[in-house]
Chain A
Amino acid sequence: MSLQTLKVLEAFLDNPVDQLSGAEVHQRCRIASGTLYPILLRLEAAGWFVSRWESIDPSSAGRPRRRLYRLTPTGLRRAGEVFASFNRGVLA
Protein backbone atom coordinates (compact mmCIF):
# COMPACT_ATOMS: atom_id res chain seq x y z
CA MET A 1 0.00 0.00 0.00
CA SER A 2 1.43 3.36 -1.03
CA LEU A 3 2.24 6.12 1.42
CA GLN A 4 -0.36 8.35 -0.22
CA THR A 5 -3.07 5.73 0.25
CA LEU A 6 -2.10 5.44 3.91
CA LYS A 7 -2.36 9.22 4.28
CA VAL A 8 -5.84 9.21 2.77
CA LEU A 9 -6.94 6.41 5.08
CA GLU A 10 -5.49 8.23 8.06
CA ALA A 11 -7.52 11.32 7.20
CA PHE A 12 -10.68 9.21 7.36
CA LEU A 13 -9.64 7.25 10.44
CA ASP A 14 -9.31 10.42 12.50
CA ASN A 15 -13.09 10.45 12.62
CA PRO A 16 -14.45 7.33 10.97
CA VAL A 17 -18.01 8.64 10.81
CA ASP A 18 -17.00 11.79 8.94
CA GLN A 19 -17.92 12.26 5.31
CA LEU A 20 -15.19 14.10 3.44
CA SER A 21 -15.03 15.63 0.01
CA GLY A 22 -11.91 15.41 -2.12
CA ALA A 23 -11.08 19.03 -1.25
CA GLU A 24 -11.25 18.27 2.48
CA VAL A 25 -9.06 15.20 2.09
CA HIS A 26 -6.59 17.38 0.19
CA GLN A 27 -6.59 19.93 3.01
CA ARG A 28 -5.85 17.21 5.55
CA CYS A 29 -3.17 15.23 3.78
CA ARG A 30 -1.89 17.59 1.08
CA ILE A 31 -1.99 15.06 -1.72
CA ALA A 32 -2.15 16.43 -5.25
CA SER A 33 -5.38 15.93 -7.16
CA GLY A 34 -3.66 13.75 -9.75
CA THR A 35 -2.91 11.18 -7.06
CA LEU A 36 -5.86 11.75 -4.74
CA TYR A 37 -8.81 11.02 -7.02
CA PRO A 38 -7.47 7.72 -8.39
CA ILE A 39 -6.91 6.60 -4.78
CA LEU A 40 -10.46 7.57 -3.77
CA LEU A 41 -11.93 5.75 -6.77
CA ARG A 42 -9.73 2.71 -6.17
CA LEU A 43 -10.75 2.47 -2.51
CA GLU A 44 -14.39 2.96 -3.45
CA ALA A 45 -14.18 0.23 -6.09
CA ALA A 46 -12.64 -2.10 -3.53
CA GLY A 47 -15.51 -1.46 -1.10
CA TRP A 48 -13.51 0.44 1.49
CA PHE A 49 -15.35 3.71 0.77
CA VAL A 50 -18.84 4.66 -0.30
CA SER A 51 -19.65 8.03 -1.81
CA ARG A 52 -22.75 10.11 -2.33
CA TRP A 53 -23.62 13.55 -3.57
CA GLU A 54 -24.01 16.34 -1.07
CA SER A 55 -27.68 16.98 -0.47
CA ILE A 56 -27.89 20.63 -1.50
CA ASP A 57 -29.53 22.48 -4.34
CA PRO A 58 -26.64 23.82 -6.44
CA SER A 59 -28.65 26.71 -7.83
CA SER A 60 -29.68 28.00 -4.42
CA ALA A 61 -26.28 27.24 -2.86
CA GLY A 62 -24.49 28.95 -5.73
CA ARG A 63 -21.95 26.17 -6.08
CA PRO A 64 -21.79 22.62 -7.45
CA ARG A 65 -22.57 19.62 -5.26
CA ARG A 66 -19.61 18.02 -3.57
CA ARG A 67 -19.02 14.27 -3.70
CA LEU A 68 -18.70 13.00 -0.12
CA TYR A 69 -16.75 9.87 0.77
CA ARG A 70 -17.16 7.77 3.89
CA LEU A 71 -15.46 4.66 5.23
CA THR A 72 -17.54 1.49 5.07
CA PRO A 73 -17.48 -0.94 8.01
CA THR A 74 -15.29 -3.19 5.87
CA GLY A 75 -13.00 -0.30 5.04
CA LEU A 76 -12.83 0.71 8.67
CA ARG A 77 -11.89 -2.80 9.73
CA ARG A 78 -9.33 -3.31 6.96
CA ALA A 79 -7.78 0.13 7.47
CA GLY A 80 -7.60 -0.53 11.21
CA GLU A 81 -5.80 -3.78 10.50
CA VAL A 82 -3.35 -2.07 8.17
CA PHE A 83 -2.47 0.58 10.73
CA ALA A 84 -2.41 -1.95 13.54
CA SER A 85 0.17 -3.92 11.61
CA PHE A 86 2.33 -0.79 11.57
CA ASN A 87 1.70 0.11 15.20
CA ARG A 88 1.92 -3.40 16.59
CA GLY A 89 4.16 -3.38 19.61
CA VAL A 90 4.62 0.39 19.51
CA LEU A 91 1.37 1.98 20.58
CA ALA A 92 -0.47 -0.97 22.05
Chain B
Amino acid sequence: MNSKRELNWVDGFAHCLIHRAARRAPEPLPERLEEEWLADFAERRGGLSRLRFAVGCCWATGVIAREQGVAALAATSSPLGNGYLVGDGGSPLFSRRAATFLLVAGLHAAVLYGLAIGLSSRFNKVSTGPLEAREIKSPPHRDLLPLPPPQVSRTRIEVPISEAMPRIESDPTDAVQGTRQEPQRPLPAPIPSVVNRVQGGPGSGFPSTDDFYPSLAIHMGEKGVATVRVCVDGQGRLNSEPTIMQSTGSSRLDEGALRLAKAGSGHYRATTEDGRPVNSCYPFRIRFDLRN
Protein backbone atom coordinates (compact mmCIF):
# COMPACT_ATOMS: atom_id res chain seq x y z
CA MET B 1 0.00 0.00 0.00
CA ASN B 2 2.79 2.34 0.97
CA SER B 3 4.87 1.50 -2.09
CA LYS B 4 1.87 2.10 -4.34
CA ARG B 5 1.30 5.48 -2.77
CA GLU B 6 5.01 6.24 -3.18
CA LEU B 7 4.86 5.27 -6.86
CA ASN B 8 1.86 7.52 -7.41
CA TRP B 9 3.69 10.37 -5.74
CA VAL B 10 6.76 9.79 -7.96
CA ASP B 11 4.57 9.57 -11.06
CA GLY B 12 2.83 12.79 -10.18
CA PHE B 13 6.09 14.57 -9.57
CA ALA B 14 7.59 13.18 -12.81
CA HIS B 15 4.51 14.26 -14.78
CA CYS B 16 4.87 17.71 -13.34
CA LEU B 17 8.55 17.84 -14.30
CA ILE B 18 7.84 16.69 -17.86
CA HIS B 19 5.02 19.18 -18.24
CA ARG B 20 7.20 22.06 -17.03
CA ALA B 21 10.18 20.94 -19.13
CA ALA B 22 8.09 20.70 -22.30
CA ARG B 23 6.54 24.12 -21.69
CA ARG B 24 9.98 25.67 -21.49
CA ALA B 25 10.96 24.35 -24.93
CA PRO B 26 11.08 26.84 -27.81
CA GLU B 27 8.08 27.14 -30.13
CA PRO B 28 6.61 25.15 -31.81
CA LEU B 29 7.95 22.25 -29.81
CA PRO B 30 6.14 22.39 -26.41
CA GLU B 31 2.99 20.45 -27.36
CA ARG B 32 4.85 17.92 -29.42
CA LEU B 33 7.50 17.28 -26.80
CA GLU B 34 4.98 16.97 -24.00
CA GLU B 35 2.91 14.36 -25.82
CA GLU B 36 6.01 12.52 -27.06
CA TRP B 37 7.64 12.48 -23.64
CA LEU B 38 4.48 11.40 -21.84
CA ALA B 39 4.07 8.51 -24.30
CA ASP B 40 7.68 7.42 -23.80
CA PHE B 41 7.34 7.99 -20.06
CA ALA B 42 4.43 5.53 -20.00
CA GLU B 43 6.72 2.81 -21.32
CA ARG B 44 9.20 3.21 -18.47
CA ARG B 45 8.96 0.75 -15.61
CA GLY B 46 9.99 1.53 -12.08
CA GLY B 47 9.79 4.73 -10.09
CA LEU B 48 13.49 5.54 -10.27
CA SER B 49 13.64 5.01 -14.04
CA ARG B 50 10.62 7.28 -14.51
CA LEU B 51 12.10 9.94 -12.30
CA ARG B 52 15.38 9.83 -14.19
CA PHE B 53 13.46 10.13 -17.44
CA ALA B 54 11.64 13.23 -16.21
CA VAL B 55 14.85 14.87 -14.98
CA GLY B 56 16.45 14.03 -18.33
CA CYS B 57 13.59 15.82 -20.09
CA CYS B 58 14.37 18.96 -18.10
CA TRP B 59 17.98 18.70 -19.20
CA ALA B 60 16.92 18.04 -22.81
CA THR B 61 14.81 21.20 -22.84
CA GLY B 62 17.84 23.24 -21.82
CA VAL B 63 19.96 21.72 -24.58
CA ILE B 64 17.27 22.14 -27.23
CA ALA B 65 16.60 25.74 -26.21
CA ARG B 66 20.30 26.57 -26.29
CA GLU B 67 20.79 24.98 -29.70
CA GLN B 68 17.78 26.67 -31.20
CA GLY B 69 18.87 29.95 -29.68
CA VAL B 70 22.34 29.74 -31.16
CA ALA B 71 21.35 29.21 -34.77
CA ALA B 72 18.58 28.31 -37.12
CA LEU B 73 19.30 24.64 -36.78
CA ALA B 74 17.38 23.31 -39.70
CA ALA B 75 18.88 25.70 -42.19
CA THR B 76 22.51 25.73 -41.40
CA SER B 77 23.64 23.10 -38.99
CA SER B 78 25.15 19.73 -39.47
CA PRO B 79 24.47 16.97 -36.95
CA LEU B 80 28.15 16.18 -36.83
CA GLY B 81 28.77 18.35 -33.84
CA ASN B 82 27.63 21.13 -31.59
CA GLY B 83 29.84 23.83 -33.02
CA TYR B 84 28.40 26.78 -34.86
CA LEU B 85 30.07 29.64 -36.63
CA VAL B 86 27.52 32.38 -37.04
CA GLY B 87 28.54 35.79 -38.14
CA ASP B 88 25.38 37.85 -38.30
CA GLY B 89 22.19 38.23 -36.37
CA GLY B 90 23.67 38.93 -32.98
CA SER B 91 24.58 35.29 -32.37
CA PRO B 92 27.94 34.45 -30.88
CA LEU B 93 30.73 34.25 -33.40
CA PHE B 94 32.20 31.08 -31.95
CA SER B 95 30.73 28.19 -30.03
CA ARG B 96 31.72 27.73 -26.42
CA ARG B 97 34.07 24.92 -27.40
CA ALA B 98 35.83 27.03 -30.01
CA ALA B 99 36.09 29.97 -27.63
CA THR B 100 37.63 27.75 -24.95
CA PHE B 101 40.08 26.36 -27.46
CA LEU B 102 41.08 29.84 -28.56
CA LEU B 103 41.49 30.94 -24.95
CA VAL B 104 43.73 27.98 -24.10
CA ALA B 105 45.75 28.45 -27.28
CA GLY B 106 46.14 32.16 -26.46
CA LEU B 107 47.34 31.37 -22.95
CA HIS B 108 49.87 28.91 -24.31
CA ALA B 109 51.10 31.47 -26.82
CA ALA B 110 51.42 34.12 -24.09
CA VAL B 111 53.40 31.80 -21.82
CA LEU B 112 55.70 30.76 -24.66
CA TYR B 113 56.19 34.39 -25.68
CA GLY B 114 56.97 35.34 -22.08
CA LEU B 115 59.50 32.54 -21.76
CA ALA B 116 61.14 33.49 -25.04
CA ILE B 117 61.40 37.17 -24.05
CA GLY B 118 62.73 36.30 -20.59
CA LEU B 119 65.33 33.91 -21.94
CA SER B 120 66.49 36.28 -24.64
CA SER B 121 66.89 39.18 -22.15
CA ARG B 122 68.90 36.94 -19.83
CA PHE B 123 71.03 35.84 -22.76
CA ASN B 124 71.57 39.47 -23.76
CA LYS B 125 72.65 40.32 -20.22
CA VAL B 126 75.25 37.59 -20.31
CA SER B 127 76.51 38.33 -23.77
CA THR B 128 76.75 42.11 -23.40
CA GLY B 129 79.50 42.01 -20.76
CA PRO B 130 82.94 43.44 -21.49
CA LEU B 131 84.92 41.44 -23.96
CA GLU B 132 88.33 40.21 -22.92
CA ALA B 133 90.90 38.22 -24.83
CA ARG B 134 92.04 35.00 -23.24
CA GLU B 135 94.62 32.56 -24.42
CA ILE B 136 93.28 29.08 -24.59
CA LYS B 137 95.90 26.55 -23.77
CA SER B 138 95.98 23.33 -25.67
CA PRO B 139 95.23 20.27 -23.53
CA PRO B 140 98.29 18.44 -22.24
CA HIS B 141 99.48 15.59 -24.38
CA ARG B 142 98.93 12.20 -22.82
CA ASP B 143 100.77 9.07 -23.80
CA LEU B 144 98.23 6.39 -24.49
CA LEU B 145 99.05 2.73 -24.26
CA PRO B 146 98.64 0.93 -27.57
CA LEU B 147 95.50 -1.14 -27.78
CA PRO B 148 95.93 -4.91 -28.11
CA PRO B 149 95.20 -6.23 -31.59
CA PRO B 150 91.56 -7.33 -31.96
CA GLN B 151 90.93 -11.02 -31.88
CA VAL B 152 89.08 -11.98 -35.00
CA SER B 153 87.51 -15.38 -35.28
CA ARG B 154 86.63 -16.54 -38.75
CA THR B 155 83.33 -18.30 -39.13
CA ARG B 156 82.01 -19.47 -42.41
CA ILE B 157 78.47 -18.33 -43.00
CA GLU B 158 76.38 -19.95 -45.70
CA VAL B 159 74.01 -17.51 -47.29
CA PRO B 160 71.19 -19.20 -49.21
CA ILE B 161 70.58 -17.66 -52.59
CA SER B 162 66.95 -17.12 -53.36
CA GLU B 163 65.74 -18.35 -56.72
CA ALA B 164 63.62 -15.27 -57.07
CA MET B 165 66.57 -12.99 -56.54
CA PRO B 166 68.15 -12.05 -59.88
CA ARG B 167 71.80 -12.84 -60.12
CA ILE B 168 73.96 -9.96 -61.20
CA GLU B 169 76.86 -11.11 -63.22
CA SER B 170 79.89 -8.93 -62.81
CA ASP B 171 81.75 -7.79 -65.82
CA PRO B 172 85.08 -9.67 -65.91
CA THR B 173 86.82 -6.66 -67.34
CA ASP B 174 85.97 -4.73 -64.18
CA ALA B 175 87.55 -7.44 -62.09
CA VAL B 176 90.67 -7.26 -64.21
CA GLN B 177 90.86 -3.54 -63.95
CA GLY B 178 90.12 -3.70 -60.23
CA THR B 179 87.40 -1.08 -60.39
CA ARG B 180 84.89 -1.03 -57.58
CA GLN B 181 81.22 -1.30 -58.43
CA GLU B 182 78.63 0.58 -56.41
CA PRO B 183 75.98 -1.78 -55.02
CA GLN B 184 72.72 -1.46 -56.87
CA ARG B 185 70.06 0.13 -54.73
CA PRO B 186 66.57 -1.38 -54.88
CA LEU B 187 63.99 0.73 -56.61
CA PRO B 188 61.53 2.40 -54.23
CA ALA B 189 58.19 0.63 -53.93
CA PRO B 190 55.42 2.28 -55.92
CA ILE B 191 53.22 4.51 -53.76
CA PRO B 192 49.79 2.85 -53.40
CA SER B 193 47.00 4.98 -54.74
CA VAL B 194 44.37 6.05 -52.18
CA VAL B 195 40.87 4.87 -53.04
CA ASN B 196 37.87 6.47 -51.39
CA ARG B 197 35.85 3.36 -50.59
CA VAL B 198 32.32 3.66 -49.21
CA GLN B 199 30.92 0.37 -48.02
CA GLY B 200 27.42 -0.58 -49.09
CA GLY B 201 24.55 -1.89 -47.01
CA PRO B 202 20.81 -2.43 -47.11
CA GLY B 203 19.29 0.33 -49.21
CA SER B 204 15.87 1.76 -49.83
CA GLY B 205 13.14 -0.74 -50.54
CA PHE B 206 14.91 -3.36 -48.47
CA PRO B 207 12.34 -5.76 -46.99
CA SER B 208 11.25 -5.49 -43.37
CA THR B 209 12.31 -8.07 -40.80
CA ASP B 210 8.68 -8.37 -39.75
CA ASP B 211 7.89 -10.14 -43.02
CA PHE B 212 10.62 -12.70 -42.41
CA TYR B 213 10.21 -13.25 -38.70
CA PRO B 214 9.50 -17.01 -38.49
CA SER B 215 6.08 -17.48 -36.94
CA LEU B 216 7.32 -20.31 -34.73
CA ALA B 217 10.11 -18.06 -33.43
CA ILE B 218 7.51 -15.38 -32.64
CA HIS B 219 5.41 -17.98 -30.88
CA MET B 220 8.40 -19.11 -28.80
CA GLY B 221 9.46 -15.56 -28.06
CA GLU B 222 12.83 -15.93 -29.77
CA LYS B 223 14.75 -12.80 -30.67
CA GLY B 224 18.32 -11.98 -31.55
CA VAL B 225 20.75 -10.35 -33.93
CA ALA B 226 22.35 -12.20 -36.84
CA THR B 227 25.37 -10.97 -38.77
CA VAL B 228 24.99 -11.92 -42.42
CA ARG B 229 27.69 -11.65 -45.05
CA VAL B 230 26.56 -10.83 -48.56
CA CYS B 231 28.37 -10.38 -51.84
CA VAL B 232 26.74 -7.67 -53.94
CA ASP B 233 27.39 -6.45 -57.46
CA GLY B 234 27.41 -2.89 -58.70
CA GLN B 235 23.62 -2.89 -59.17
CA GLY B 236 22.92 -3.93 -55.56
CA ARG B 237 22.13 -7.54 -56.50
CA LEU B 238 23.48 -10.59 -54.74
CA ASN B 239 26.04 -12.46 -56.76
CA SER B 240 26.40 -15.37 -54.33
CA GLU B 241 24.53 -17.02 -51.52
CA PRO B 242 24.51 -15.02 -48.26
CA THR B 243 26.07 -16.72 -45.26
CA ILE B 244 25.67 -16.39 -41.49
CA MET B 245 28.78 -14.91 -39.89
CA GLN B 246 27.35 -14.70 -36.40
CA SER B 247 24.32 -16.70 -35.38
CA THR B 248 21.38 -15.44 -33.37
CA GLY B 249 21.52 -18.66 -31.41
CA SER B 250 18.33 -19.85 -33.05
CA SER B 251 18.40 -21.82 -36.28
CA ARG B 252 14.91 -20.52 -37.11
CA LEU B 253 15.97 -16.90 -36.83
CA ASP B 254 19.16 -17.60 -38.81
CA GLU B 255 17.04 -19.09 -41.58
CA GLY B 256 14.79 -16.06 -41.51
CA ALA B 257 17.82 -13.79 -41.72
CA LEU B 258 19.14 -15.65 -44.77
CA ARG B 259 15.73 -15.49 -46.47
CA LEU B 260 15.56 -11.76 -45.76
CA ALA B 261 19.07 -11.24 -47.12
CA LYS B 262 18.13 -13.11 -50.31
CA ALA B 263 14.85 -11.24 -50.68
CA GLY B 264 16.74 -7.97 -50.44
CA SER B 265 18.68 -8.69 -53.64
CA GLY B 266 18.42 -5.65 -55.84
CA HIS B 267 17.84 -3.38 -52.86
CA TYR B 268 21.39 -3.28 -51.55
CA ARG B 269 23.55 -0.21 -51.83
CA ALA B 270 26.63 -1.17 -53.78
CA THR B 271 30.03 -0.39 -52.34
CA THR B 272 31.62 2.52 -54.18
CA GLU B 273 35.24 3.26 -54.90
CA ASP B 274 35.82 6.86 -55.84
CA GLY B 275 32.10 7.09 -56.53
CA ARG B 276 32.00 4.08 -58.86
CA PRO B 277 29.89 1.07 -57.74
CA VAL B 278 31.95 -2.10 -57.48
CA ASN B 279 31.41 -5.74 -56.57
CA SER B 280 32.08 -6.35 -52.90
CA CYS B 281 31.30 -8.52 -49.91
CA TYR B 282 30.37 -7.07 -46.56
CA PRO B 283 28.60 -8.07 -43.35
CA PHE B 284 25.53 -6.41 -41.92
CA ARG B 285 23.30 -7.12 -38.96
CA ILE B 286 19.67 -8.20 -38.90
CA ARG B 287 17.78 -7.77 -35.64
CA PHE B 288 14.74 -9.84 -34.83
CA ASP B 289 13.01 -8.14 -31.97
CA LEU B 290 9.59 -8.75 -30.51
CA ARG B 291 7.57 -5.66 -29.87
CA ASN B 292 4.29 -5.46 -27.97
A contacts, CB < 8 Å to B: 1-2, 5, 13-18, 21-24, 26, 32-39, 41-43, 45-46, 48, 54, 63-67, 73, 76-77, 80-81, 83-84, 87-88, 91-92
Given the known interface contacts A43-B79, A92-B197, the answer about A23 and B209 at a Cβ–Cβ threshold of 8 Å is no
Chain A residues whose C-beta falls within 8 Å of the C-beta of B202 in the assembled complex? 16
B264-278 to A contact mask, C-beta < 8 Å, 1/0: 000001010000000
- Of the 9-residue stretches B33-41, B104-112, B129-137, B181-189, which lies at the interface with chain A? B33-41
Residue of B nearest to A88 (CB): B197
- The answer on a CB contact under 8 Å between B203 and A76 is yes
Closest CB in chain A relative to B67 CB, distance in Å: 7
Report whether over half of chain B's contact residues are helix, strand or loop; otherwise say mixed: mixed
Please tell me which stretch of B87-95, B165-173, B283-291 contacts chain A, meaning at least 4 of its Cβ atoms lie within 8 angstroms of it. Answer: B283-291
Whether B225 sits at the interface, judged by CB under 8 Å, is yes
Pick the residue among A16, A34, A46 that contacts B60 (CB under 8 A).
A34
B197 touches A5 (CB 8 A): no
- Provide the main secondary structure of the chain A interface: helix
**Once bound together, how far apart are the Cα atoms of A80 and B282, in whole Å?**
13
- B48: chain A residues at CB < 8 Å are none
Tell me if B79 and A42 are in contact (CB < 8 A). Answer: yes
